[in-house]
Structure 1
């Protein structure tokens, strides 16, 4: 099997996609792509990049986890109040205290993730500036109440430094399941050293097709983008949904200066 181009390699690396200025790879029929591009014109292309597809499940799980944690906390304080002091009771106290900390932390992390992650995390390709603008939500499970470690950041990269990789791994999905995704790596200029990676698409089909669309746009222009049967999805206009987590999720709002720069020529 061919070795990965970049170092360090992604743990789930399976293959490299064609380079940003190489001939575009596979493009599926547009009817099989989850969502058409959000927007494109002569200057920039915006592709959807929602990192949370099943909104609400994590929030509900977090509520259940918090209820279990409260029961564990009550049991912990009950055991602590017992007039019994032995090695076995000390071990039981430590186990319940560990479950209390892990349960509360997991519940808070899951709730914040499901309700604070934006409805979409789009990525813009500006073919005139040859820049890529990534609307990116970051979280930190070990710093649950940090203001700097949680929230939206916009990263700007050079188009020529991007590299697409197809990755997969088996994750804890009930009885086990295969997780497929396409990652975009950012190389140190002139090297094959990856200094950053982020999720581009949640499936091989979408990832390879979106990457081919980005290549076509950056190399040939908007006329090379295929025609889609469906109109673009309005991610910010979903207030009528019954999914509470999606309604609570913040709308996409680019910083004003980056919004102007990403949509215009120099």
Structure 2
């Protein structure tokens, strides 16, 4: 049975994919995903912070309405007459706890949908042999702390890809299966992981998307289906998607933007 090469392996590890300069093991085909930019210099792929982006904000609205209901109930305690003070105290504690919970959940849902940038693009510069990562740091359980954009660049030769699959149970006893490809950045000459980021979290694009990137970095855009190139401005979002309209625009640092899209 195959064992992970990297230390440590990614969560839900299934198998290691070929190295960045090794022969391709699968066809470089993308499913339900098209590059936002593809030329002789760089390839850019989009990534989603949430698959259901644009829907979670409505859960925030629903939680906010429930918070108002419990706030009204808490303020109405003074109208209780003839009740035992112990019962009133327990009622007040329960109402206050529910109020806090729904205020918190409303803030969580809102920030999960609205705070991340409109896109989290990856740029692979073939001529510089580097990848440029537009990321986002969040603390989902603490919506009141600072969430922020991160950018970084790594050498192509230091990247390793792993396929993963994670199973989790739902409240009603169901099963959710998620799979994708994680890219690890290793310390040069070792298998020691120093950083990780997702390449794809779509079940339809697991090892194939890594093969697509490797083909581009090894051979250029020749051999890739030109119909898969769909130039798209990351900040151009549907007018009906409230969350994306409110979300911050993608804005690379000026120097990194110039470097990642140009030849040495």
TM-score > 0.5, shorter chain as reference: yes
- Aligned-partner SS, 2:217: helix
Question: CA contact under 8 A between 1:28 and 1:205: conserved in structure 2?
Answer: no
Aligned to 2:134: 135
Equivalent residue number for residue 42 of structure 1: 40
Quote the offset at 1:220 in angstroms: 1.8
Map 1:218-229 → 2, pairs under 5 A: 218-228=217-227
- The residue number in structure 2 matching 1:254 is 252
Whole-Å Cα distance in 1 between the matches of residues 68 and 23 of structure 2? 57
1: CA distance, partners of 2:204 / 2:20: 18
- The answer to whether residue 155 in structure 2 is matched with residue 158 in structure 1 is yes
Cα distance in structure 1, aligned partners of 2:124 and 2:148: 22
Structure 1 residue 13 corresponds to structure 2 residue 10: no
**Structure 1 residues 223 and 182: alpha-carbon distance in aligned structure 2, compared to 1, 3 A threshold:** same
Query: What CA distance in whole angstroms lies between the structure 1 residues aligned with 2:2 and 2:68?
Result: 51
Judge which range, 76-85 or 212-221, deviates more: 76-85
Q: CA RMSD in A?
A: 2.7
- Give, in angstroms, the shift of residue 136 of structure 1: 0.9
Q: Deviations over 1:4-30 (max 9, x none)?
A: 222223231122211112112323645
| Matched residue SS, 2:237 | coil
**Do 2:28 and 2:224's aligned partners in 1 also have CA atoms closer than 8 Å?**
no
Question: Mind listing any 5+ residue stretches in structure 2 that lack a counterpart?
Answer: none
Matched, 1:208 2:203: no
How far the C-alpha of 1:253 sits from its partner, in A, is 2.0
SS in 2 for 1:228: helix
SS of residue matched to 1:37: coil
Q: TM-score, normalised by structure 2?
A: 0.85
- The equivalent of 1:112 in structure 2 is 111
1:225-240 paired onto structure 2 within 5 Å: 225-228=224-227, 231-239=230-238
For 2:60, the equivalent position in structure 1 comes to 62
| Aligned CA distance change for structure 1 residues 60 and 191 (closer, same or farther; 3 Å) | same
**TM-score for the superposition, normalised by structure 1:** 0.84
Structure 1 unmatched runs, 5+: none
Equivalent-residue separation in structure 2 for 1:95 and 1:168 (angstroms): 39
Map 1:79-118 to 2 at 5 A: 84-86=84-86, 94-118=93-117
Among 234, 240, 243, the residue aligned to 1:242: 240
Question: Aligned in 2, Cα 1:234/1:27: closer, same or farther, shift over 3 Å?
Answer: farther
